[in-house]
Amino acid sequence: MTERKASAKVIPTEIIPEPGSRTVAIDGKDYLVANDAMFTFYQRSKGELSPYFVALRDEKRILGCKCTRCGLVRVPPFLTHCPDCEFTPTELVEVQQVGVMNSTPPITYFATSLFQRMAPFGRGRVILNGADTALSVNVYTTTGILVPGLIKKGAEVKVVFRDDRIGESSDIFCVPTCELTPEQVEKKGLQESEINWEAAVIPQLPKASKEQVGIYEDSVREIASVIEEMNRTERAKRDIAEWKRDIQVKTMGGEFGILIDDGEIRLRQGKVASPDFVMVCEDPRVLLDGLAYRGALTDAVILKKLWISKNQEFVTIFKLDRMARSLARTSKR
Amino acid sequence: MTRRVGIVGAAVTPFRAKWFEKTYYELAQMATREAVKDAGISIGEVDAVFYGIYNDIFERACIPEHPLQGICGMQNKFGIRISNGGATGAYTMSAAHAYVAAGRFKIALVLGVEKATDCYDFQSMSSTPEVIKTIAWSGDSFFEQQIGWSASDSYAEVVLAYMDEHPGDLKPEVTAQVSSLLSQNVRNNPYAQRQLDQVTPQEVLNSRLVVYPFRELEICVYSEGAAALILAEEETAKAIARNTGKPVVWITGVGEANEHSFAGRNQKVMSRIMSDHYGAHRAYEMAGIKDPAKAIEVVELHDAFVHQLEISCAEFGLVPLGRADALIEEGLMTPGGKYVVNPCGGLIYCGHAVGASNIMSAWSARNELIKRKLKTALVHGTGSTVAQYTACLILEHD
C-alpha cells in the first residue's frame, strides 16, 4: 500500500514541539532560540472546484472542463471560462482513468517534513484519455521502491483511487498499467486494496564463504575506524545532534550494530537489543563506501544494494550520508 | 521619456546557513548601511525603498517589511514589497528600475532579505525538511500541496522533460563538473556560505540523490542574509560616481515573463523554460542586444539546480537548446572561456537567501564588470512552480 499524509488532526500531533527555549553561545555572547509556530485553521470552500473533488470522493470519477468554443479539455477543471477564447464558458465532462505520462516524473527521496513518511514517491503529470492538459498526480510502482527509469515519458498509467477518500487531490494516484491485469486496467474506479502490493520482507542472506568472512572482518574494522573519526569531527557530530537510533546491520559475513545517540555514533559487534530498524546488505563494503563518502547510502537503498526495514528511516540514512560528507569536508581542511 | 538608471552602490551581508546572532531586522539594516556607504550618500537622500522578501512564513510575519521602514531610515517615504517566488530579487530590481526610469524618484534603495533557516523540524531535529515545507506552501493549494509538491520536484519536472527531448544533454558527468566549477568560483566570494567548500566532480557524483535527478551538490543551499543596491537616475548617478570615483553600472535592459502553472496543450511546455527565454530576450531588446552570444560576457544567473542553470543558459541563447553541455565540453564557462558564469559561486555555493539572492547576483555582476573591465552582464532570477517566473536585467559598464 502507498502511504499518504494522514493524521487524526489537521496538524499531526507528533510534529508539534513543546514550548521552550534554549541559549546558543557564539563568541562569548548568548542568543535566545525559542520553540515557536505559525498556524491558521481553515474551513475552506472548494467553490467552483467542488464538483471535481466530490466526484473523486463519492463517485470515483474524474472530471475536466471543456471549452464550448475551442473544445480544449482541461483536467483538472480549474477554470469556468476559457481565457484562450475571450472567456467563453466551459462545461464539465468526464474523462477516462487511463492516460500517458506527459514527461518523466521526478522521484522525491528527501521530502518535506510533512511528507517524509511517504518518501520515496513520484509526482508527475498524466494526460488522461479524453483530456488535453496534464493532471498532477503521485505515481507509484507495485514492485517496491520507485527507481529512476521505471516510469518514463509516454508510459501508460492507470488512476487508482484510495480506499479512504476525503475529497483531496491525494484521493488518487497512478501506477503503470503494465503492472496491472487487463481487468484492473479496464475497471473504472479501481481501488488501492484491489492491487497486489509487493510486501517488504527482510532479504535472506546466503551463507558466507571464508573469503567473504574475511571481507566482513576487514570492512567492520574500517567502518569502526571511520566511525571513530566521525566522533572526533565536530561537523559530523552536529549532524546527529539530538538524534537517537539503534540500528542492526546484517551482512553476509556477520552482523553488528550502529548506535547513534545525540552526537555520538558507536559500532557494536553482534546483535542489538530492540533495534529501531534493520539494514541489510550482502556486501558490507556498500556501507563502508557510504560512510567513507565513496558513494551515497541513499543511492545504495535506491539501487537495492542496501535494504532498510522502514522507509521513514530514510531520514537516518540521510543523516549518515550527511556525516560522511561532513567528515570528507573536514578532512580536506 | 524614460530616464537611464544606474547602480551606484551595492552591498551584501555574509550569507550563512544560520544567523543566530541577528534577526532579519539587523541583516536588512546591515546591507542598507553598507550600500549607502558604498554610494557615499546619506540614507536621507534616498527617496524610496523596494523590499524583496519572498516568504512571510520564513520571517514569521505577514507584511514582514513594515518594521524595516523605520529600521532602515526610510520613515515617511515610499516603500513597497515585491514577492515573486525565487525571482523575488530580480523582480524587485525590475520594479525599482521602472519607478526611477519613470521619473518618480531620483535615488532608490533595493533591499532583499530572507531568514530561511529559523524554520525547524522537531521530528528530524533539523531545519531543511521544515524549510522545504515552508516553500512547499507555494505549490498549488488545491491540486499539488496535498501530493508532496516541492520546489525541487517541480524544477525536476522541467529538467526531466528537457532530458526527454534532449537525451544526450545534461550528462551527469557534465552537471558534476559545473557544480565543481562553481565551487572553485566561490573561493573569491568572502560573503559566501560555502566559500571553503571546494568539491571534485567525483564528489558531486558521490553525493546522495535528493530528488531524482538532482544530487545534493547540484542544489542551491538555503541561506540567511541580505543584499542591497542603490539605484539612481542618470544625472544623480553621474554626480554620485564623481564623488565616489566608482563607475556607474547602468541597467540598460529589463525583461520579465511568467508562464502558465498548469501543463499541456496551450499551457506550460514542460521541456522549456519559456519564462527565461522571454525574460532574457525582452531584456536584450530593451538593451539593443542583437546577438547575446557575442554581447554577454558575465552571467550571474539563479542556479536553483545545476541542470536548470544549463537549460537557462540555452534559453538565454548562449548555447543551443539540446547542447547546453557545451558550457563545459566546449569550454564556454570554464576558466578563460567565453562566459564568466556565476563568479560569486551562484546560489549553490554562495547560498540562497531567497529575497536577497538575485540582488546578491547583481552585486557580484557589478563587481565583476568593474574589476575585469568588461562591458555587459546578464542577471537573472527564476522562481515559482515549474520555473514559471523569470526576470532578467542587462547591466552595462561604460
Q: How far apart are the first and last CA of chain A?
A: 46
**How far out from the chain centre does Cα B159 lie?**
19
Output the CA–CA distances (angstroms, integers) from residue B257 to A181, B91, B94, B134, B250, in the order listed: 45, 10, 12, 25, 22
Closest chain B C-alpha to A210 CA, distance in angstroms: 31
pLDDT in tens, A80-117: 999 999 999 999 999 999 999 999 999 999 999 888 88
Closest chain A C-alpha to B140 CA, distance in angstroms: 10
Question: What confidence tier does A5 reach under pLDDT thresholds 50, 70, 90?
Answer: low
Chain B residues in contact with A325 (beta carbon < 8 A): 207, 216
- The reply to whether residue A106 touches residue B152, judged by beta carbons under 8 angstroms, is yes
CB-nearest to A293 from B126, B149, B206 is: B206
Asked if the structure places residue B152 within a domain, the reply is no
Neighbours of A27 (CB within 10 A): 5
Counted across chains A and B, CB pairs separated by less than 8 A come out at 184
Chain A residues in contact with B271 (beta carbon < 8 A): 103
A74 touches chain B (CB under 8 A): yes
Would you kindly state where each structural domain of chain A is located, as residue ranges? Answer: 47-194, 210-332
Q: What ipTM was predicted for this assembly?
A: 0.94
Closest chain A C-alpha to B182 CA, distance in angstroms: 16
| Residue A182: predicted pLDDT | 98
Asked if the structure places residue B59 within a domain, the reply is yes
A139 touches chain B (CB under 8 A): no
Residue A312 has pLDDT above 80, yes or no: no
| Residue B211: predicted pLDDT | 96
| Residue B398: predicted pLDDT | 80
B12-50 in b/e form (b: 16+ CB < 10 A) is bbbbbebbbebbbbebbbbbbbbbbebbbbebeebbbbb
* Mean pLDDT value of segment A43-50: 97
Residue A200 has pLDDT above 80, yes or no: no
CB-nearest to A123 from B149, B264, B265 is: B149
* Mean pLDDT value of segment A58-69: 98
A144-153 in b/e form (b: 16+ CB < 10 A) is ebbbbebbeb
The answer for B 213-232 residues in CB contact with A (under 8 A) is 213, 215-216
Chain B residues in contact with A113 (beta carbon < 8 A): 121, 123-124, 129-130, 132-133
Asked if the structure places residue B160 within a domain, the reply is no
Output the CA–CA distances (angstroms, integers) from residue B333 to B280, B329, B337, in the order listed: 18, 9, 5
Q: Are A134 and A101 in contact (CB under 8 A)?
A: no
> Which residue does chain A place closest to B148, by CA atoms?
A115
> Which residue does chain A place closest to B162, by CA atoms?
A103
Bridge partners, A132 (sequence order): none
| Residue B281: predicted pLDDT | 98
Chain B residues in contact with A109 (beta carbon < 8 A): 208-212
Using 70 as the pLDDT threshold, list the residues of chain B that sit under it. 1
- The reply to whether residue A113 touches residue B125, judged by beta carbons under 8 angstroms, is no
Chain B residues in contact with A11 (beta carbon < 8 A): none
| Residue A331: predicted pLDDT | 83
Question: What confidence tier does A2 reach under pLDDT thresholds 50, 70, 90?
Answer: low
Q: Quickly name the fold that domain A210-332 has.
A: Nonspecific Lipid-transfer Protein; Chain A (3.30.1050)
B122 touches chain A (CB under 8 A): yes
| Residue A203: predicted pLDDT | 85
Q: How far apart are CA B52 and CA B40, in angstroms?
A: 23
- The reply to whether residue B266 touches residue A110, judged by beta carbons under 8 angstroms, is no
pLDDT in tens, B266-315: 999 999 999 999 999 999 999 999 999 999 999 999 999 999 999 999 99
Chain B residues in contact with A102 (beta carbon < 8 A): 161, 263-264, 270
Whichever domain contains B38, its CATH number is 3.40.47.10
Q: How far apart are CA B218 and CA A300, in angstroms?
A: 19
Neighbours of A331 (CB within 10 A): 10
* Mean pLDDT value of segment A108-135: 93
Q: How far apart are CA B62 and CA A258, in angstroms?
A: 45
Structural domains in chain B (count): 1
Residue B153 grid cell: 520536484
Q: Are A174 and A160 in contact (CB under 8 A)?
A: yes
Asked if the structure places residue B273 within a domain, the reply is no
- The reply to whether residue A102 touches residue B270, judged by beta carbons under 8 angstroms, is yes
Q: Scanning the structure block, which residue is given the C-alpha cell 537622500? A: B45
Closest chain A C-alpha to B349 CA, distance in angstroms: 14
Domain range spanning residue B33? Answer: 5-119+222-244
| Residue A7: predicted pLDDT | 67
3-state helix, strand, coil in chain A (%, to 5): 30, 25, 45
Asked if the structure places residue B70 within a domain, the reply is yes
* pTM of the entire predicted model: 0.95
Asked if the structure places residue B272 within a domain, the reply is no
Asked if the structure places residue B76 within a domain, the reply is yes
pLDDT in tens, A291-310: 999 999 999 998 889 999 88
Residue A1 has pLDDT above 60, yes or no: no
Q: Classify A320 as helix, strand or coil.
A: helix
Asked if the structure places residue B40 within a domain, the reply is yes
Question: What confidence tier does A22 reach under pLDDT thresholds 50, 70, 90?
Answer: very high
